[in-house]
Amino acid sequence: MKFDNVSVAISGNSYFNGDVTSRTIHFADGSTKTLGFMAKGSYEFGTQSAELMEITSGELAYKLADTDEWKTANAGESFNVPANSKFQVEAKTMVDYCCSYL
């Protein structure tokens, strides 16, 4: 995956005592994505807008709100998260991801 003609926020985002980090990239059309890393562990996130989570390396188990079903996304796979919800993840390995805000 490669992005051309973008600007990158110089300050990063850090969550869960640095176990999850990301950088925001801005596109000419006004859209944004975050490129991030998760250390092995369990985390819960909240969303404002709908998101597409693309796993670029590693293995991530996830559970969306209003479901008891855990699913797995490996490198090259993705999943959608609804707006205004929460989701749980368990990074089975170190995970690199790209989050697109829809």
CATH number at residue 51: 2.60.120.10
Q: Which two tokens stand for residue 101?
A: 């805000």
User: Residue 24's pLDDT is what?
Assistant: 96
C-alpha to C-alpha distance for 61 and 42, rounded to whole angstroms: 9
* Total-model pTM: 0.92
Query: What count of residues does the chain have?
Result: 102
Q: How many Cα atoms within 13 Å fall on the side-chain side of residue 67?
A: 13
Number of separate domains in the chain = 1
Tell me the pLDDT tens digit for each residue of 13-66: 999 999 999 999 999 999 999 999 999 999 999 999 999 999 999 999 999 998
The answer to the question of residue 79 being in a domain is yes
The answer to the question of residue 1 being in a domain is no
Element (H, E) at 61: strand 59-64
Containing structural domain, residue 44: 6-96
